Amino acid sequence: MTNKKYLVTGSAGFIGSNLVKALCENGNSVVGIDSFHSYYSRVIKESNLKGLSKQANFEFKELDILDLETCDIDSDFDCIFHLAAQPGVRDSWGVGFDSYAMNNVLGTQKLFEFAARSNISRVVYSSSSSIYGDAETFPTLESANPQPRSPYGVSKLTGEYLGAAYSRNFGLEVVILRYFTVYGPGQRPDMAIHRLINCAITGQQFPKYGTGEQIRDFTFVNDVVSANILASTASLPTLATAINIGGGNSTTLNFLISSIESISGRQIQIEQGGVPPGDVIRTGADTKRAKELLGWYPRTDIQAGLKLQYEWQLKSF
């Protein structure tokens, strides 16, 4: 098999750094870019990159996707994995949306423009289950009417529409992967599982929003990486194709709390709070399309994944 050359945006982040590692270990050449956005600590992202330092076939550039059109980066890529984004539902309200519009909308447009101008055949775009909002049916099909409940969800859906527009007008192949809550070693510090594990270890209080009966479909990071790699070469029915990537579980926050208490052997102290705007009651992916088009299915169950993440976080204390 011919080794390929890839561009990974957001390569210092949680999913991006794991993807770079897998691509390099498969013998491919990878150029990674990241702007070190201040949403969470640069130190964490630099630590992710340090883990990639032994990969001789990896080149990193500190670069903002907004500057892609004017920079001197190579353009001879077989595929672009576009993971760079401003994450988080709760910070996307009010003046905070300026950053989401800049990074998730304008930045994504710049990325598609770069790909089309450079005659790069395919972009794998990281989208989110947040585009569905409170879905009408579960498990949720890709054909469901998108109705995001947060500005963040709107920004990711806009990225999907931009990809479809570039497909129709320039023949760019765009694979849209809609992730359902990604977790595992390296997870961002703002996410619930990471914060729960930290609270179990330190004894700090965990702010629980609502009853704890809200349901999420959690997806282990290695499974998300696998989906990206498969999406880079899969035969697709349309130039722009959306595919759900979900772990295949229906997990409540209360279940997460009890599971992490069991894994850690420690009780988590709870601080009760209200439900913040933008949070949905339930998410759940129908992944038949992923199986049919990519040959993909989730391999890591929630209990095994939680244990791996707990062991990873425990090392930092």
pLDDT tens digits, residue range 45-72?
999 999 898 899 999 999 999 999 888 8
Q: Classify residue 308: in a domain, yes or no.
A: no
Domain of 100 in residue numbering reads as 5-180+221-245+285-298
The pLDDT tens digits of the residues spanning 161-202 come to 999 999 999 999 999 999 999 999 999 999 999 999 999 999
Q: Classify residue 238: in a domain, yes or no.
A: yes
- Residue pointed to by tokens 């989730």: 298
What is the layout of strands, in order, in the sheet containing 5-9? 58-62, 29-34, 5-9, 79-82, 122-128, 173-179, 240-245
pLDDT above 60 for 203: yes
Residue 312 CB burial class (10 angstroms; 0-12, 13-18, ≥19): middle
| CATH code, domain with 234 | 3.40.50.720
C-beta of residue 176 within 8 angstroms of C-beta of residue 214: no
C-beta of residue 148 within 8 angstroms of C-beta of residue 130: yes
The single residue of 132, 152, 166, 183 carrying the catalytic annotation is 152
pLDDT above 60 for 205: yes
d(CA 152, CA 259) in angstroms, rounded, equals 29
pLDDT above 60 for 1: no
Q: Classify residue 115: in a domain, yes or no.
A: yes
Catalytic status, residue 297? no
Instruction: Tell me what percent of the residues of the chain surpass a pLDDT of 70.
Output: 99
Q: Classify residue 166: in a domain, yes or no.
A: yes
Total domain count, the chain = 1
Write down the pLDDT at residue 276: 84
CA dihedral 300, 304, 308, 313 (to 10 degrees): 120
Q: Classify residue 263: in a domain, yes or no.
A: no
Q: Classify residue 11: in a domain, yes or no.
A: yes
Q: Classify residue 202: in a domain, yes or no.
A: no
The average confidence (pLDDT) of the chain is 96
- Using CA atoms, how far residue 184 sits from 52, 124, 256, 311, in Å, is 18, 21, 13, 10
d(CA 146, CA 136) in angstroms, rounded, equals 10
Q: Classify residue 269: in a domain, yes or no.
A: no
pLDDT above 80 for 2: no
